Amino acid sequence: MMTRTIKSKSKKILVEMAFIVLIAVVTGIVWNHRLLWNVFNGTIADATTTLPAPASREATMLPAGLMQAKELFDQKEAVFIDAREPSVYALGHIQGAVSLPVAKVDSALQNFMNETPLDAILIVYCSGYGCHDSNNVAEKLQARGYDTIFLFEGGYPEWKNAGFPIEGADS
């Protein structure tokens, strides 16, 4: 009798737990449906606004994986651009990366353009998967006429975890 009560009790509790989890999961999916849909379609650039791509030029904003980023780094042909906040950049960044924080990109771009030809290979990164800043900076660069822009989605965390060259206060 007692065992049966305990058994039915544990069954009841499991059902309750499953129900709570289900409600929370459904709420989460509904709440984030737009983000999830964008991620699913590979367009996480910005969940709310999408800038029209310049029609006159072929848009070449390519995703780059860790090994591709390292290859570009080793060939020394690409300019690495750090889109994170200057304070975070100061703590640590990919060796030789230029700081072009998204908040100050408009004022900093002129200086950058004086030093970097339009046909340079650019590789933009920020704090890893899901951070928007590299995408926003890349769009600005593209709008100014840079043609070959790679987005290194793994960003600084992935680079650092892989033990690749970094520099900064924390390195």
Partner 1 sequence: MRSKVRSKIKNYLILTLRIGLGLVFIYAGILKIRDPIAFAGSVAAYKVLPYFLNYLVAATIPWIEATCGLLLIIGFKTRAAAGITAAMNLFFIVLLASTIMRGLDIDCGCFRQGGEKTSAWIAIMRDIVFLFVALVLFTEENDRKLPNR
Q: If binding is defined by CB under 8 A, does position 11 make contact with partner 1?
A: no
CA 81/CA 151 separation, integer angstroms: 10
Q: Which of 6, 55, 67, 169 binds partner 1 (CB under 8 A)?
A: 6
Toward partner 1, which CB reaches closer, 21 or 118? 21
Q: How many helices (H) and strands (E) does the chain have?
A: 7, 7
Q: What angle do CA 59, 65, 69 make, to 5 degrees?
A: 85
Q: How far is the CB of 157 from partner 1 (least distance, A)?
A: 5
Q: Is 79 exposed, middle or buried (0-12, 13-18, 19+ CB in 10 A)?
A: buried
For residue 152, what are the β-bridge partners?
Answer: 64, 125
Name the DSSP letter for residue 77: -
> Which listed residue (9, 11, 57, 144) binds partner 1 by CB under 8 A?
9
To which residue do tokens 């100061």 refer? 90
What is the spatial distance between Cα 125 and Cα 154, in angstroms, rounded to a whole number?
8
The binder of partner 1 chosen from 86, 92, 157, 168 (CB under 8 A): 157
As measured in angstroms, the least distance from the Cβ of 53 to partner 1 is 22
Chain positions 116 to 155 lying near partner 1, rule: CB under 8 A, are: 127-132, 155
Which range binds partner 1 by CB under 8 A, 6-14, 48-56, 107-115, 138-146? 6-14
Span 25-54, contacts to partner 1 by CB under 8 A: 25, 27-29, 31-32, 35-36, 39-40, 44
Least distance from partner 1 to the Cβ atom of residue 142, Å: 21
The Cα angle at residue 78 between residues 144 and 60, in degrees rounded to 5: 50
In angstroms, the CA 84 to CA 167 distance is 15
**Interface with partner 1 (CB under 8 A), residue from 7, 11, 17, 57:** 17
Binding site for partner 1 (CB under 8 A): 5-6, 9, 13, 16-17, 19-21, 23-25, 27-29, 31-32, 35-36, 39-40, 44, 127-132, 155, 157-158, 160-161
